[in-house]
A and B are shown apart, each in its own frame.
Chain A
Amino acid sequence: MSQTVAAPARSRRPLGDLAFEVLATAAGILVLALLGAIIVSLFIGGLPAFRQFGVGFLTSADWDPVQQVFGAVVPIYGTIITSILALLMAVPVAFGIAFWLTELAPAWLRRPVGTAVELLAAVPSIIYGMWGFFIIVPFMGDYIQPFLIDWLGDLPLVGFLFQGPPFGTGIFTAALILAVMVIPFIAATMRDVFQTVPPVFKESAYGLGCTTWEVMRSIVIPYTSTSVVGGIMLGLGRALGETMAVTFVIGNTNRISTSLFGPGNTIASLVALEFPESPAGSLKLASLLALGFLLFVISFIVLAISRLLLRKGKPA
């Protein structure tokens, strides 16, 4: 009986209401479909390359359009090494900025400086590329690299990292530009999570006589460590897929060089550079799409971990 009463009540629900809910839900499902479509389309596009080379695609360092032999090792190596180096440079600076903005800066400076750091994130990557190519590359080639080669090139064990001719371009320069690009992302995330620490925790530590740095080290960082790692992973995800800036400065050579100053490439830079010379339907284009698929898998994993950590770290 109660069901027959409920049914007309349900049908009285305005049609517009139902239509709007269906529309909104469909849009939500569209986003899921979009991700699926990106993965599937890149995989299908890269299928000829996976078929042709099998697992060898992942282990071969060749990239020879003449012989039609393509492998992914060099760009994968370049992608990972530039991103990790970039993080090594970016994380301390980003941490410093976030620390300064949350604990040290005078109140009237916080907003303008915070905004300026966010603007650094808004500069388009092509501008970083141009700026890197015309300003940083000559500077690196003329001053920084010769200096480092002279001073560190002869060291035992690590000297090989700093040898070779100072072209200005190369892995190290690409990592430096990437570092500048991801600093604002990491700094903004760190600042936001540092602000979630309940003031009473910090006040207790100050009350015990802790210095600002001790409060940061013993209270703020342990409290926010999960989210901080999440923020760093977010920066890593950004760095992995960065295209234009890297393409300008990395030297674009399909070779794994032991020196940090040697040229290299990344998945994104290789795809951007080789795409115009890859006719539709060619094995080369399929290899580029296969590389795109690999990049998507790598960044998806990194970004997924980042999101999980950031959500887990968020106090409920």
Chain B
Amino acid sequence: MSATLSTRGPARDAVVANALSRRRQRINLLVEALCLLATVVGLAFLALILATLLYLGFSGLSATVFTTITKPPGSHGGLLNAIIGSLIQTALGTAIGTPIGLLVGTYLSEYARGSLLGEAVRFVSDVLLSAPSILIGLFVYTVMVSPFGGFSGWAGAVALAVIVIPIVVRTTEDMLRLIPVALREAAVALGAPKWKSIVFICYRAALDGIATGVLLAIARIAGETAPLLFTSLGNLNWSLSLTQPMSSLPVTIYQYAGSAFDDWVQLAWVGALLITFGVLALNVLARIVLRPRT
């Protein structure tokens, strides 16, 4: 025994070394177990939220939810105006924000490499990406609602557009940067002006990445509540006018969930179920779109 150990050192140190090794292994095992636990906890929260939504929202799901507008408590209302309002504002917000975000992303990737202005734009865009959405609502309130005398669907759409821009900027720039230089050079060698090589070569090559960004942006603004509270306000009546206060699913959920009426709370859960699974489906779709690239 001691003969075999003596090649590595005195027997006493080997005992110490073995004890130390066991301790290190134990600590390692403990940390690994804690990390697994942390992951399980994270996944458990997601499962818990989804299970709650299914359990409390699914039972209230019926055709009337989609065919009837919001009504006073006790009269079997639905969420039709909220769903349509959300669709309109989300679509408009995306339609306004996407081209701007696309151009900014193009500027950062194609025109501003290394320039000081480009650095500033990139920095500000990244800050806006995480800026509290409630402040974007307050901002649109001060520039669109308060001077022009009223809450409107337009104001809501603009607030959502401001949220869309930095998301599209980020993905567009990242995706355009992945385009090989050789591709651009090939276009230039054929005599194409720079804008044509960007629009017809680079955009096309980066299309799935850019589409991912737009999908993620839609998913993000579809669930936004805080900016709409100060801009489109919410509307319990049927209204498609963009110059009037406009209903939206998240704001209706907010109003209903905090109410004292059981049927309103039930509808809030249905709305929550719809919006969450819609948003998660968009996210999964976005990841599938991106998959071939990574």
A interface with B by C-beta (< 8 Å) = 13-14, 16-17, 19-21, 23-32, 34-35, 37-38, 41-42, 44-45, 92-97, 99-101, 104-105, 113, 115-120, 122-131, 133-135, 180, 183-184, 187, 211-214, 216, 234, 237-238, 240-244, 248, 268, 271-272, 275-276, 280, 288-289, 292, 295-296, 299-300, 303-304, 306-307
Contact = CB atoms under 8 A, between A and B. Distances in A.
Interface in B28-54: 28, 31-32, 34-39, 41-43, 45-46, 48-49, 52-53
17 contacts: A21-B111, A24-B106, A25-B107, A25-B111, A27-B104, A28-B104, A28-B112, A31-B104, A38-B131, A100-B36, A104-B36, A120-B45, A122-B219, A122-B283, A126-B223, A243-B225, A295-B132
A53 B272 CA distance: 41
A24 B110 contact: yes
A39 B223 CA distance: 25
B121 interface: yes
Given A104-B36, A124-B275, A242 B132 contact: yes
Interface of B: 24-25, 27-28, 31-32, 34-39, 41-43, 45-46, 48-49, 52-53, 56, 100, 103-104, 106-108, 110-112, 117-118, 120-121, 123-128, 130-136, 138-139, 142-143, 146, 162, 165-166, 169, 193-196, 198-199, 219-220, 222-226, 229-230, 250, 253-254, 257-258, 268-269, 272, 275-276, 279-280, 283-284, 287
B38 A307 contact: no
B234 to A, nearest CB: 10
A116 B49 contact: no
Nearest to B110: A24
Contacts of B46: 116-117, 119-120, 123
Given A38-B139, A292-B135, A124 B124 contact: no
Contacts of A37: 139, 143
A301 to B, nearest CB: 10
Contact of B39 (A97, A126, A214): A97
Given A100-B38, A104-B32, A105-B39, 16 more contacts: A23-B103, A28-B118, A29-B121, A37-B139, A42-B138, A97-B38, A99-B35, A117-B43, A122-B220, A122-B279, A127-B272, A127-B276, A130-B257, A238-B130, A244-B225, A299-B135
Q: Which of A131, A135, A183 has the most CB of B within 10 A?
A: A131
Given A241-B133, A268-B134, A130 B253 contact: yes
Contacts of B128: 31, 34-35
B42 A184 contact: yes
Interface centre among B139, B220, B268, B284 (most CB of A within 10 A): B139
A17 B104 contact: no
A62 B267 CA distance: 37
A42 B139 contact: yes
Contact of A31 (B124, B226, B275): B124
A41 B127 CA distance: 18
Contacts of B131: 38, 241, 296, 299-300, 303
B138 A126 contact: no
A25 B261 CA distance: 52
A15 B293 CA distance: 34
Nearest to B32: A104
Given A96-B35, A127-B272, A299 B42 contact: no
B130 A234 contact: yes
B272 A126 contact: yes
Contact of B193 (A17, A26, A128, A211): A17
Given A42-B138, A271-B134, A17 B194 contact: yes
B230 A275 contact: yes
Contacts of B25: 211
Q: Which of B107, B108, B268 has the most CB of A within 10 A?
A: B107
Given A100-B39, A104-B36, A127-B276, A304 B127 contact: yes
A135 B242 CA distance: 36
A120 B112 contact: no
Nearest to B224: A124
Given A241-B135, A272-B229, A212 B124 contact: no
